């Protein structure tokens, strides 16, 4: 470990400090020591000319599959994929086997991360026991054990009474309440967006209103509970409009979106590529346009991957029978560049705010800034680097991406976590 690192001549962007200038960044003993044009002596010098130097990216919606499904991903391989994608930290969802619904499960994740992870790992605890939506989990114990947020991810809480009690309980510990918004009485058996395309393909549909109904219900419940509420992977324009209205009323709402919901429409499913089966499903062009507007005006706060690894044998079923999900940690940054930077929806400061600053603020975790004295979590991005997606080169254990063969522009070249190089020169640097 170099005791001091000078990152020289990069475009330093830190939305938290309203910094956007070509300058130098000095790291000493794992902390940000200075930002400025001075060029002090350092143990190691990184030439960042032509690159963006940003606070480490944070993905607040990731599935690491450990415990229980280590054949698909582990904390070790998932965090390797994270740093290769420019992420210095990930928040891992609780839909493991068994679920993260006790303090001992949260402690297990943190122990495994301390032993094997190359990025920071922030566990998200389940809201209800077994994620079954009936009986509240031990939220207080999990909060004390280190859970940064709570969610029954993949299963929105259907019972309004249980949901309100969960909101009130989470508010007692000032954690983020994350909801997967889906009324499953409307989507049961569905595998793609309901509409003409699904009818033509002979596939059962999942109507957009299923997302809208739960968002609308929860906004009403939010008026009865003082909790910070976050909508996971928004996919419909109607839901985005409801979130915008709630924010305008001053409610403590936030939301996230995935790259595939900004780049792919339901028509992509005409290929029957099982990697395109995601939940929530790919929607319409009108939904994408509405989501882009919501990102532009700040209605949607955060950009996430919803990294969901599955083995090849799992995905090799008929489209309707295959599991939901695609991987995304190693492609998310470049896909968001394609969806948002290239068409001018966001500038670089806006992108970094949504991929670093806001996730850190919402989860109230380390990172999101290059402020002097802060832990040195830094991502260096080459915005001009052109590359082709090749899943065989991924660090993730799984390969379930529909973006194989896509040519993208922009990629993380260096990822530094706590002052330690974790990704550099095209390879993940293992723990020593």
| Closest C-alpha among 113, 83, 92 to residue 332 | 83
| Closest C-alpha among 11, 85, 96 to residue 393 | 85
Find out whether 122 and 98 touch, Cβ atoms under 8 Å: no
Q: What is the pLDDT of residues 368-392, one digit of tens each?
A: 999 999 999 999 999 999 999 999 9
Enter the DSSP assignment of 267: G
Concatenated DSSP letters of 152-215: -TTS----HHHHHHHHHHHHHTT-EEEE----HHHHTT--EE-SHHHHHHT--EE-THHHHHHH
Residue 226 CA to residue 223 CA, distance in Å, equals 7
Find out whether 221 and 164 touch, Cβ atoms under 8 Å: yes
Residue 89 CA to residue 78 CA, distance in Å, equals 11
Peptide bond preceding 427 in cis form (omega within 30 of 0)? no
Helical pair 237-248 and 209-222, crossing angle rounded to 10 deg: 10
Out of 14, 101, 103, 306, the active site residue is: 306
Q: What is the largest CA-CA distance in the chain?
A: 66
pLDDT the model gives residue 2 = 65
**Using alpha carbons only, what angle is made at residue 308 by residues 304 and 314, rounded to the nearest 5 degrees?**
160
Residue 144 CA to residue 342 CA, distance in Å, equals 42
Instruction: Extract the tokens encoding 387.
Output: 């590359």
Concatenated DSSP letters of 15-39: GGGTEEEEEEEEEETTEEEEEES--
Mean pLDDT by 10-residue block, N- to C-terminus, for the chain (432 residues)? Answer: 89 98 98 93 96 98 98 98 98 98 98 98 98 98 98 97 98 98 98 97 98 98 96 98 98 98 98 98 98 98 98 93 98 98 98 98 97 98 98 98 98 98 95 78
Find out whether 75 and 109 touch, Cβ atoms under 8 Å: yes
| Closest C-alpha among 15, 12, 24, 11 to residue 58 | 15
59 is catalytic: no
Q: What is the pLDDT of residues 39-59, one digit of tens each?
A: 888 999 999 999 999 999 999
Non-local (6+) Cβ contacts of 418 within 8 A are 30, 120, 375, 376, 377
């Amino acid at each position: 470990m170099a005791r001091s690192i000078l990152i020289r001549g990069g475009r330093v962007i830190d939305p938290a400090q309203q910094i956007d200038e070509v300058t130098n960044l000095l790291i000493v003993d794992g902390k940000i020591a200075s930002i400025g044009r001075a060029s002090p002596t350092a143990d190691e010098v990184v030439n960042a000319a032509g690159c963006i130097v940003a606070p480490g990216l944070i993905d607040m919606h990731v599935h690491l599959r450990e415990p229980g499904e280590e054949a698909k991903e582990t904390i070790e391989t998932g965090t390797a994929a994270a740093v290769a994608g420019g992420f210095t930290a990930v928040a891992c969802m609780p839909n493991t086997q068994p679920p993260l619904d006790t303090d001992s499960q949260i402690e297990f994740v943190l122990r495994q991360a301390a032993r094997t992870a190359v990025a920071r790992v922030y566990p998200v605890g389940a809201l209800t026991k077994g994620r079954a939506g009936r009986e509240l989990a031990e939220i207080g114990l999990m909060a004390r054990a280190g859970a940064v947020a709570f969610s029954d991810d993949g299963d929105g809480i259907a019972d309004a009474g249980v949901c309100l009690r969960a909101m009130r309980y989470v508010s007692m510990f000032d954690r983020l309440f994350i909801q997967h918004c889906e009324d499953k009485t409307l989507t049961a058996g569905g595998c793609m967006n309901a509409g003409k395309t699904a009818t033509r393909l002979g596939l059962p549909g999942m109507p957009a209103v299923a997302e809208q109904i739960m968002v609308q219900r929860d906004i009403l419940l939010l008026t009865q509970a003082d909790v910070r509420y976050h909508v996971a992977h928004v996919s419909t324009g109607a839901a985005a409009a409801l979130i915008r209205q709630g924010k305008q009323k001053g409610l403590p709402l936030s939301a996230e979106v995935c790259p595939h919901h900004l780049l792919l429409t339901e028509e992509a499913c005409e290929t029957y590529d099982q990697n395109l089966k995601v939940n929530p499903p790919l929607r319409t062009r009108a939904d994408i346009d509405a989501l882009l507007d919501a990102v532009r005006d700040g209605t949607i706060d955060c950009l996430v991957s919803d990294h969901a690894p599955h083995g090849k044998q799992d995905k090799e079923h008929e489209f309707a029978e295959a599991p939901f999900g695609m991987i995304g940690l190693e492609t998310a940054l470049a896909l968001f560049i394609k969806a948002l930077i290239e068409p001018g929806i966001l500038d670089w400061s806006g992108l970094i705010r949504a991929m670093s600053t806001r996730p850190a603020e919402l989860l109230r975790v380390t990172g999101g800034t290059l402020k002097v004295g802060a832990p040195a979590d830094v991502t260096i991005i080459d915005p001009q680097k052109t590359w082709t997606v090749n899943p065989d080169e991924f660090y993730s254990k799984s390969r379930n991406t529909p973006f194989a063969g896509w040519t993208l522009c922009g990629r993380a070249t260096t990822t530094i976590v706590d002052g330690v190089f974790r990704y550099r020169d095209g390879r993940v640097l293992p723990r020593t």
